[in-house]
Copies of this chain bind each other. A is one copy, B any other.
Amino acid sequence: MHRTKIKIVEDAFDANNTIARANREDFDRGGVTVVNMMSAPGAGKTTLLERVVKDLGDVRVGVLEGDIQGSLDADRLASLHVPVTQINTDPGFGGECHLDANMVRSAIPSLPLDDLDLVVIENVGNLVCPAEFKVGEDSRVMVTSVTEGEDKPLKYPLMFRTCELVLVNKVDLLPHLDFDLERLLHNIDKVNPGVERMLVSARTGEGIEAWRDWLTRVVARAGAPV
């Protein structure tokens, strides 16, 4: 029984990886850099995106918005006149807890890839499952907010280990928390030594310029026309 379960799970990941590669090829053909953005629920992904999408210079950005149901976040971003496609995850394998490559694939035709340089995929708020599924992205960014505690890298290591940038959000609240920032940074280094990290506050704007510049750099690095 246990072997059967493992086989089913392995098959699902194999199928996912195959589709992720097809997505990657489509994105490459369109000259589009893709960033997969992940975090726990309420860490501030949407607000961090709202803060930068109008301010990326020549980089033309679109957003793929993953949610179990509803379009609250997509509506917020669409109001900024950015191309946004909503994916609701209800019909996915194993439920609704992440975006998989096939869900992203189904959304690609609705994005004007030829007119974009960057697609940000806002994944479902979850520190576990999204990290297990490649969707065809170039880079992974994760957001951890200081209100979540210092232990999260140790408890959700895969998420912290598979990302290229950690945004430490809500630092404006540090004076009001019993929170040891050094310990968080130390724990991040334990699971992903030397990974780039930025202290930001979507609320006050602290660190937002560095986050915007990082996105611009990722696009430039991919050789897309900026």
Contact = CB atoms under 8 A, between A and B. Distances in A.
B176 A67 contact: no
Copies of this chain: 2
Interface in A17-51: 40-42
A95 interface: yes
B154 A70 contact: yes
A95 B132 contact: yes
A124 B147 CA distance: 17
Contacts of A177: 173
A129 interface: yes
Contacts of A72: 151, 154-155
Question: Which of A91, A145, A147, A173 counts the most chain B CB atoms within 10 A?
Answer: A147
Contacts of A91: 2
A121 interface: no
A16 to B, nearest CB: 12
Interface string A127-151: 1110010000000000001011101
A68 B126 CA distance: 13
Given A40-B40, A126-B126, A173-B176, 17 more contacts: A2-B91, A5-B93, A9-B94, A9-B95, A40-B41, A41-B155, A68-B156, A69-B157, A70-B154, A95-B128, A95-B129, A95-B132, A96-B128, A97-B97, A147-B173, A173-B173, A176-B176
24 contacts: A5-B93, A9-B95, A40-B40, A40-B41, A41-B127, A42-B145, A42-B147, A42-B149, A42-B152, A67-B155, A68-B155, A69-B155, A94-B94, A95-B129, A95-B132, A97-B128, A126-B128, A145-B147, A147-B173, A172-B176, A173-B176, A173-B177, A176-B176, A178-B203
